[in-house]
Structure 1
């Protein structure tokens, strides 16, 4: 064995090794001169001029110190020579808690190294080749051994223990330490492969390193999430519109118990908002109420309804996570739909709002079915589509004032869906079935009914769900009863109750829409008086006992109220063709001359006297009058009769008044005459 040649070789290795490591930027390229003779690495000696011998280690512990630099910042420049270093510039220790899981695997590629590779340029070329294809390159595929993958811990390091260094087969083992796991999205540039020939010397070349260090670096970034807010079309045609100004708060943690991060962000004119600075964690968005979107825990009016999927409770579906493996940034977006709140209108089917007692008033309640009645589609977050919660409450209560009566047998109740969207109830509509599509229950006080549409295991029926976006039309009649207050509004009220969040989550608040429609019944009051002194109207007196009949615009005569053959027990107005046939409908003036009729529909009527008071002539001229608002309350029609041509020999009021007036007139004339006489006498 040539001892001098062996010593020169090792001295060269120490020198080049130190220089190459000092020049490395991001990778450790360690140069080792080729060995031209067989030497046992554990028994290396210096040349003849050296004062002591050195023992090369057979294994080395190699610690990877992981650094990170935020995208756009300046990376550190570290002298990677196996010695302990400190980060500089904008590079800091890698934080796996924020930026995810990074793992390294060490490959012993000594068997793939040619003698000509053991130069600075040669080992750098090997590193570049590996970087192009970390798993499919020649060196990694043909490595003689590899370690188990090790991950960067919270201290930003991992140590490969007992890596082969010097042995009988080779003075130096060349290792490729490769970043084999890194999080998507969070890491934008992986570290360069570390190519190192072990063992290394210290910087001075006076000792072997048994503990060596490497400092690979990543470029990392914080992520952004974009949310776009849409509003549905109430018609159910599938069209949507962007909703600007909708506020959202981002939370970290589990829905219902998370912590708000950042400030409230509102959607822009295109319905979009962006939150940034995102690292590892579990997130969810909470939608705040606004002027356009009503909080489901209040009764405020708004076009859209805040869904259960966007509340701060366990039903929230606006969740996404950035895990230890990172995330594809292209998935960090959401399209969230707001659905129109239900709507309801209450109208009279009749072309008038006044009725005669005992007749039926026809009502219609139109309930708009929201598009998400059984859960709405059209929303997705982080690439996952979902269906919103179905409505847990969708019901109505119809109540009537005391002057109205709900009678199921007479109401002719129908529930249909207007599939033609013409707002009318016609033959083209779908008829809903009681017991299948709804249940109907009479109220205990007989003043209305309750209708329930949640009939199918907590949901509306398949038929109602099929026609979401359409209108349910409820048509029915109620009777104007004999307790109706004249000239006062008699209200029929419909209360639609609804709730679009799960029954087992959070506060249970049912929102309400209430609309009412008034109906009226009217009347007229009269007073019967004499026509006064010689028909002048002077000294009118009330007349008792005058009798009248009332004729309507159809020429029929009122014949009182009587319960007919219908199902209710309410008396209805009776009408006959001739005045002579009136028996129960005769109106008679009382001692004060007053009489009245009430419970009539508004319109034009005729008052006809059929019997004059004693001592008065029958008025052969019919008197027209109008029945309408306040004609009973504020108006008194005056009906007059003339006295008979001969003075009555009875003590009528008019006769007494006539005598009194005559006495006054005669006395006045006599007084004037006396004055004239006296005047002449004086003269």
Structure 2
């Protein structure tokens, strides 16, 4: 009887702790709340894990549940069974501390001692002496309903009760903000009447939980150094839950002035961000302007997404943060470095020297500081396509063996090597430089130039198909792709203009007595052209057999090309660069005087226009008929008539004046 009285008293100790698990209204006995008159040797201890959000207002004094071993059915608003699917794994350890606290059969466990045990286990956990020296420890995780049962635990054995401490030995960091308070349980536990015992003991520990939030900061770099990053506003993202490429979309986000965007209400699971095109960031099929950035390869909705994070069953030990950098696209330029005048004019056969410039993106080999998730860095993906292609247009020729292609850094101090740093692919009308040579990446030498300008110099040649005074262009198609997982190439195009000029001439009779009256075109006049250096134009010849004819200039006039006026008096000289030239007449038309002086003329952008055709006059040779001949008589008569007419005119004039 003494033992039974002790058991009845000790069995109520859990209720005396006043531990709050929630609240209930209208408690009722469940089927498992059965009692028996005799003390059970073994009991089942079931944990019903409860939770409520830290913002829920629960009055512990009013709404508390006594852990009296019975089941309780209803909870207040905001209190529910623990959801491990959202808030992570929770496990409890049941430790038998009988030998530590009930050494004698008739000993008692006071409230003061219980408070001591609870405090020690609450503050030290597994390092508590009560846990370390327990005779038996069992750890079990709660199920999807927040429940777990420690079955067949010793109760009244050898006329001695068993004492246990139950504590929450595992919970998700961050998601669980307040663990359940440890409980001391004496088994067997008496029922509410004090006359019987519970075979099944039900306990209701509780957690205060919270949903987590994730802060993503979006940066951009200035195109010169990866360390120079600035917040990027108006970047658009989508948040997904699940495996990258297969998740469920949760919402849309846009970065603010500081580049920040915040995700809230996160629970256990895998998540990833997907970036989509915006006013700040351009996607495939669109070419960015100078103030825009490329959509990266690492925040797409596919299996290669690196902007991922996970809230595991163990929770998170620190704030959830990430940063993601967008990089500027490469830019190109092209110019002509030689030629005459502002228009870069050339004569047929001249080599045109081009200089192309490519600004190498800082993430050409991957952005080393591009992605940081919860303090862990990973590089963004490298470029998988990086090609400079140049095609000669009409009037220009690409000659591979004479192109003199050279690739260097801006100050020419570093020279990149063919087959090591780039592949040269030549065709009939142009070439391609492919810089992806190292297992899908650029060479180390090119990667080291990130954020700098790459210089590409080469020659092309003006050919005899060139239209005169018409822009001649060779076109650059620069192709790149910063996504090695998708074929979404970007193209940037540019061209550089050159021109070749000419001049048009008209050979005419100087007219009656050199007045130009009744001037008629003259056919058959022959000229040679001379340049400012005093050499004569020798025509077009493919001297080096490369398929491109060159304009030649010779010392001997006998070797010069003769320009002949046609039946309309027209002739022209084409394929010249801007400058001052002269014509020397070497043969006059029949019955005309050959010009004794050279005729200077300019070649420029206007000299080939019909309106600017240069007129060259020739005088007839002097001819006097034989004395006494009819021709002589007619000549004299004609002269006299002219003189008479002049006198008559003068007479009339004088009379009018009088």
Q: TM-score, normalised by structure 1?
A: 0.83
Aligned equivalents of 1:626 and 1:551: distance in 2? 12
Give SS of 1:431's match: coil
- For residues 313-346 of structure 1, the C-alpha deviation after alignment (integer angstroms, 9 at most, x for no partner) is 111111111111112233x211222222122211
- Does the 8 Å contact 1:357/1:600 carry over to 2? yes
- Tell me, yes or no, if structure 1 residue 78 matches structure 2 residue 65: yes
Q: Distance in 1 between matches of 2:14 and 2:478?
A: 84
In the alignment, what sits opposite 2:588? Answer: 612
Larger CA deviation: 632-641 vs 405-414? 632-641
User: 1:612 offset after TM fit, Å?
Assistant: 2.9
- In 2, Cα distance between equivalents of 1:132 and 1:620: 119
Aligned-partner SS, 1:124: helix
What residue in structure 2 maps to residue 238 of structure 1?
227
- Unaligned runs of 5+ residues in structure 2 are 24-35, 626-634, 653-658
Q: How much has 1:249 moved relative to structure 2? A: 1.0
Worse overlay, 491-500 or 230-239: 230-239
- Is residue 162 of structure 1 aligned with residue 135 of structure 2? no
Counterpart of 2:130 (choices 119, 139, 143) is 139
Whether 1:548 and 2:524 are equivalent positions in the alignment is: no
Q: Kindly state the Cα deviation for residue 372 of structure 1 after the two structures are TM-superposed.
A: 2.1
For 1:590 and 1:6, locate their aligned partners in 2 and report how far apart those are by CA, in whole Å: 141
Deviations 1:648-672 (A, max 9, x none): 88xxxxxxxxx9xx99x99xx89x9
Matched position secondary structure for 1:433: coil
User: For residues 357 and 163 of structure 1, do their structure 2 counterparts lie closer, same or farther at Cα, with a shift above 3 Å needed?
Assistant: same
The residue correspondences of 1:272-421 to structure 2 (distance < 5 A) are 272-296=260-284, 298-299=286-287, 301=289, 303-330=292-319, 332-350=320-338, 352=340, 353-378=344-369, 379-418=371-410, 420=411
- In 1, distance between residues paired with 2:50 and 2:462? 86
Q: Please state whether the residue corresponding to 1:177 is helix, strand or coil.
A: strand
Contact 2:349 2:549 in 1 (8 A): yes
Question: What's the counterpart of residue 511 of structure 1?
Answer: 490
Aligned CA distance change for structure 1 residues 125 and 297 (closer, same or farther; 3 Å)? farther
Per the alignment, residue 214 of structure 1 pairs with 203
Checking the alignment, whether the CA contact within 8 Å between 2:8 and 2:189 is kept in structure 1 is no
**Do structure 1's residue 437 and structure 2's residue 421 form an aligned pair?**
yes
- From the superposition, tell whether residues 11 and 627 of structure 1 become closer, same or farther in structure 2 (CA, over 3 Å): closer
Pairing of 1:492-531 with structure 2 (within 5 A): 492-502=474-484, 505=485, 507-531=486-510
- Aligned counterpart, 1:60: 43
Shift of 1:231: 2.1
- Does the CA contact (< 8 Å) of 1:18 and 1:202 recur in 2? no
| CA deviation map 1:492-529 (0-9, x unaligned) | 11212122222xx4x42222111111211111111112
Equivalents in 2 of 1:329, 1:434: separation in Å?
A: 50
Q: Judge conservation of contact 2:188–2:198 (CA < 8 Å) in 1.
A: yes
Unaligned runs of 5+ in 1: 29-52, 421-425, 650-658, 677-683
Match of 1:624 among 600, 603, 615: 600
- Distance in 2, matches of 1:562 and 1:430, equals 38
User: 2:376 and 2:8 mapped to 1: Cα distance?
Assistant: 63
- 1:239 to 1:351, Cα distance in 2 relative to 1, 3 A: farther
Q: Structure 1 residues 6, 377: CA separation in 2 closer, same or farther (over 3 Å shift)? A: closer
| 8 A Cα contact 1:236 1:470, kept in partner | no
Give the secondary structure class of the aligned counterpart of 1:309: coil
Distance apart, 1:568 and its partner CA: 2.0
Shift of 1:178: 0.8
Q: Secondary structure at the match of 2:217?
A: strand
Does the 8 A contact of 1:187 with 1:221 survive in 2?
A: yes
Change (3 A) 1:366 1:6: closer
Q: Deviations over 1:143-173 (max 9, x none)?
A: 23222x1111011111111222222242x32
SS of residue paired to 1:277:
strand
Deviations 1:11-32 (A, max 9, x none): 7667x659736x443499xxxx
Per the TM alignment, residue 646 of structure 1 is displaced from its structure 2 partner at its CA by 4.1
For residue 464 of structure 1, the aligned residue among 422, 446, 451 is 446
Q: Distance in 2 between matches of 1:89 and 1:453?
A: 65
1:391–1:498 CA contact under 8 A, matched in 2 = yes
- Aligned residue number for residue 464 of structure 2: 482
**Residue number in structure 2 paired with 1:34:** none
Rounded Cα–Cα distance in structure 1 between residues aligned with 2:245 and 2:571: 71
Aligned counterparts of 1:624 and 1:217: Cα–Cα separation in 2: 106
- CA displacement, residues 595-634 of structure 1 (integer Å, 9 cap, x when unaligned): 1111111223333434332333334454433322253244
Distance 1:374 1:640 in 2: 66
> 1:31 is matched with which residue?
none
TM-score, normalised via structure 2 length: 0.86
Q: Secondary structure at the match of 1:134?
A: helix
Per-residue deviation at 1:285?
A: 1.0
1:643 lines up with 2:633 in the alignment: no
Deviation of residue 476 (structure 1)?
1.1
In the superposition, relative to structure 1, how do residues 543 and 197 fare at CA in structure 2: closer, same or farther (>3 Å)?
Answer: same
Instruction: Return the alpha-carbon distance in structure 1 between the equivalents of residues 176 and 479 of structure 2.
Output: 51
Measured after TM superposition, the shift of residue 410 of structure 1 is 1.8
* Kept after mapping to 1: 8 A contact 2:540/2:551: yes
Number of the residue aligned with 2:247 = 258
Residue 83 of structure 2 corresponds to residue 100 of structure 1: no
In structure 2, distance between residues paired with 1:533 and 1:241 = 82
Displacement after TM superposition at 1:7 (Å): 7.0
- Cα 1:339–1:11 shift into 2, 3 Å: closer
Structure 1 residues 491, 412: CA separation in 2 closer, same or farther (over 3 Å shift)?
Answer: same
Q: Distance in 2 between matches of 1:216 and 1:469?
A: 59
SS at match of 1:205: coil
2:445 is paired with a residue whose SS is: helix
- Aligned length in residues: 612
1:389 Cα shift?
A: 2.2
Secondary structure (helix, strand or coil) at the match of 2:131 reads helix
**2:553 is equivalent to residue 575 of structure 1:** yes
Partner of 2:78: 90
d(CA) in 2 for partners of 1:374 and 1:458?
A: 10
Q: 1:345 to 1:130 in 2, by over 3 A?
A: same
Note if contact 1:251-1:258 (Cα within 8 Å) is conserved in structure 2: yes
Shift of 1:9: 5.4
Q: Give the distance between the partners of 1:211 and 1:375, measured in 2 at CA.
A: 62
Aligned CA distance change for structure 1 residues 248 and 594 (closer, same or farther; 3 Å): same
User: Is residue 16 of structure 2 the alignment partner of residue 20 of structure 1?
Assistant: yes
| Equivalent residues of 2:15, 2:66 under 8 A apart | no
C-alpha deviation, 1:357, in angstroms: 0.3
Inter-partner Cα distance in structure 2 for 1:567 and 1:463: 37
SS in 2 for 1:133: helix
**1:69 aligned onto 2:69:** no
What does residue range 168-247 of structure 1 map to in structure 2 within 5 Å? 168-170=158-160, 172-236=161-225, 238-247=227-236
